[in-house]
Amino acid sequence: QAAWCEFPSRVLLVLTSQRGVQMYESDGSTMVFWHALDVPEHPAAHSVFARGIAAAGGRFICVGTSSGAVLVFDIPPKGSNVTLSEILEQHRDPITDIAAEQGQAPDGAGDLVTADDSGTLCLWSTGEEFTLLGKIPGSGCTCSSVTLWNGIVAAGYGNGQIRLWEAGSGRIRAQVSAHARWIYALDLAPLTGKLLSGAEDSFVHVWQLSRNPDTDDIEIQHCHAECVTDAQVCGARFCDPAGDTFAVTGYDLSEVLCY
């Protein structure tokens, strides 16, 4: 996996693999930091990898692992003095995705969400010490990707569903039969609340999230669908914070399609 992590004073490119985590300067010139994953002496035929990257709290990079642990790295404003500040051990299944709050979190809603293979979601508040605010138990289906916006967790699942959860209470607020296959990518445009979902069924959908601050109604509407013929969509991202353009790529596709 590869992700940009933006901070007030710098941007880092973070890569995860079966060996561990690497962090590079935004122009790719130098490797700032490298964290190797511990491989157990007698691996029980379970693969070891790091998966799930998010920048949180303006100074941390969180990376998930196949053991279910989330590594929290403290990033200095300059230089390579990155330290492992904390290891969060609330998940018992491999981490699939991590997302930080991209809008304005309501009080008590937390600013980080972590997801795993069993569909369990954990909500955290970031800081010197991360605090677990809530846990949404999974229903057996893998939560493959997750985003957090204005206290709404948008989660994509292996069975093609998108579910919206209220971060503060942990209650489900919407359930969408969005795709016919595994959802690979979810992205959110923070300025408008547009949600992008891409799945193996070769479809990409654009949705509109909304939250009424007075009534606290959370809604999701379908805006648009695109089909990339004969392609399993593996990546989908908005190209700008308003969500006016987005890019899509798929398995074995050497192109990135821009819409």
Partner 1 sequence: LFQTYNCLSDGEFQLIRQTLLIFFQDMHIRVSIFLKDKVQNSNGRFVLPISGPVPWGTEVPGLIRIFNHKGVEVKRAEFTTAGNYVTPQREGSFELYGDRVLKLGTNMYSVTRPVETHMSGSSKNLASQAKENVVPSPLAKEELNFLARLLGGLDIQKPAGGETGFRLNLFTTDEEEEHAAQTRPEELSYKVINIEATQEPGRRAELFRILGELEVAEPRPGSAEKGEDLLALMDGL
- By CB under 8 A, name the binding residues for partner 1: 47, 93-94, 96, 116-118, 140-142, 144, 158-161, 166, 169, 171-182, 201-203, 205, 216-222, 225, 227, 229-232, 251-252
Q: Is 149 exposed, middle or buried (0-12, 13-18, 19+ CB in 10 A)?
A: buried
- Phi and psi based region of residue 127 (left: phi greater than 0; alpha: psi -120 to 50; beta: remaining): left
* Sheet with 203-211: strands ordered across: 183-189, 194-199, 203-211, 218-227
Query: Cβ closer to partner 1: 30 or 229?
Result: 229
CA triplet 116, 69, 129: central angle to 5 degrees? 115
Closest separation between CB of residue 148 and partner 1, Å? 18
Query: Cβ closer to partner 1: 94 or 198?
Result: 94
Closest separation between CB of residue 127 and partner 1, Å? 27
Q: Which residues pair with 16 in a beta bridge?
A: 21
Query: Cβ closer to partner 1: 49 or 60?
Result: 49
Closest separation between CB of residue 71 and partner 1, Å? 19
Closest separation between CB of residue 158 and partner 1, Å? 5
Is residue 80 within 8 Å of 32, Cβ to Cβ?
Answer: yes
Query: Cβ closer to partner 1: 203 or 238?
Result: 203
Query: Cβ closer to partner 1: 192 or 208?
Result: 208
Query: Cβ closer to partner 1: 174 or 247?
Result: 174
Which tokens sit at 134? 């809530």
Count H helices and E strands in the chain, helices first. Answer: 0, 23
Which tokens sit at 117? 């293979």
Query: Cβ closer to partner 1: 20 or 168?
Result: 168
Which tokens sit at 90? 């609330």
Closest separation between CB of residue 140 and partner 1, Å? 7
Residue 91 CA to residue 34 CA, distance in Å, equals: 23
Residue 192 CA to residue 218 CA, distance in Å, equals: 14
Closest separation between CB of residue 28 and partner 1, Å? 23
Is residue 152 within 8 Å of 163, Cβ to Cβ?
Answer: no
Closest separation between CB of residue 78 and partner 1, Å? 36
Where do we find the tokens 């399609």? 257
